[in-house]
Structure formats: structure tokens, C-alpha cells
Structure 1
Amino acid sequence: MAAADFDPLLLDPTRLSIVSLLSGVQWAEFAWVRESVGLSASALSKQITTLGTQGYVDIDKGYVGKRPRTWLNLSGEGRAALEAHLGALQRVVEDSRRAADTYRATDERPSHG
């Protein structure tokens, strides 16, 4: 498994959590994402800026009544990146299981005596 198969942006667990959460919804309110991933507003804002700059997250700002709101959406590019990253992780798991199965099939415990 080559390291290049992983998306470097999604190696960060916080960003992976954010895009994974957004993959299950259309548009999510910033406050809900913040609470769901357990970040402060400033920490989430920083991560969203990084993801937005790379085109992984769409950001829409508006108002509900007189209160400002920010909504987040996983873009098509972000969804494709997440799926590719998860595929790379799955291949690591599968390759490791195959290697362990092969090893167990030939494993002989050394005799001491």
C-alpha cells in the first residue's frame, strides 16, 4: 500500500471527522457540525477554511431572521476524495488480513527443548 493512495488532507482525524459527518447530510448548520465533532467555533472555522480552500466543502452564509448562520456542504470533489481515502484505508485492512492469514497458514511455533 503506497502512502500516495491516502488523501493528505484527510489524514488529519478532525478533517476526516468533518467530511465524514457532512457526507451523510445535504447542508449542515455550522453549530451542529461544531457540536457533533466536539470542536470550538474557532477550531472548526480553521478546519472548514482549509477544506473550503481545497474545494472539499461548500460554505454558504446567510440569516435566519436577524441571526447570521453558516451552512456547510460536502462538495462533489470532497465526496470523491473521502470515498478514495476510505477505499485506501479499506485496502490496507484487506491487505493486512490477507498477510496475517498467509502467515497463520505457515506459522509454526518454535519448539524449545
Structure 2
Amino acid sequence: MIEARFDALIHAPARLRICGVLRPVEQMDFAVLRDTLDVSDATLSKHLKTLAEAGYVRLTKAASAARTDARRLTWVTLTPAGRNAFDGHVRALKEIAGTPD
């Protein structure tokens, strides 16, 4: 069981949403994440950089067979540390709200 732990880094609304969207999936394409969150490239990049520096997300670039140009896709993955931090943060929020598991 994950320990309840409030995480100020994750608590920022955009970063909380990023982690929430990534939590149930293995990885997500940057563009799909951007469109899902309805934010700009710059906003998403800024928050992903913060999460990556904390070790909560991993960014990888890969060529796409569907593309005819040289651009590569950026894949975003919530790391095990990120999953634990997010789960602990959600648990802490539930405790604050008086609705623990």
C-alpha cells in the first residue's frame, strides 16, 4: 500500500492533470497528451521538464513509421517513482478531504 504523501511538485494543477492522464497508460505521445489536456506545446514542455527533473516522467524520442519526414515523436512515460508519488499524493488528498480508502 502506498503511503499518503502530499507532493507540492505534483500538486500544481497542470502537473496533477499530466500525472492523472499518464497514470493508467504505459506511455503517451506528446501531441496526444497536449491535445487531451488542451494546453500549448510550451506549457506542456515546461511542466514535463519539471516532472522529468524530479524523476517522475521519462521522455523518449522515436521515429514514426507513419511519418514521411524526419521529425520524431516524443513519448511520455510516468516512471515508477512518478506513479508512487502520484498515488501517494492522491491518497493524501483523500485524507485531507476526509475520504480515505
TM value normalised by structure 1: 0.76
Structure of larger gyration radius: 1
Q: Percent identity?
A: 35
**Which amino acid in the other structure matches residue 51 of structure 2?**
L
Task: Report the structure, 1 or 2, having the larger helix content.
Answer: 1
Give the paired residue count.
91
Q: Deviations over 1:85-105 (max 9, x none)?
A: 00101111117xxxxxxxxxx
Cα offset, 1:62, TM superposition: 1.6
Query: What is the aligned-residue RMSD (CA, Å)?
Result: 1.2
* Alpha-carbon distance in structure 2 between the residues aligned to 1:92 and 1:45: 30
Q: Compare relative contact order (CA 8 Å, sep 6+) and give the higher one, 1 or 2.
A: 2
Q: Deviations over 1:50-109 (max 9, x none)?
A: 0000000011112114331100000000000001000101111117xxxxxxxxxxxxxx
Indicate yes or no: 2:86 matched with 1:82: yes
TM value normalised by structure 2: 0.85
What is the SS of the residue equivalent to 1:69?
A: strand
**Which amino acid in the other structure matches residue 47 of structure 1?**
H
* Alpha-carbon distance in structure 1 between the residues aligned to 2:38 and 2:22: 14
Q: Which runs of 5+ in 2 are unaligned?
A: none
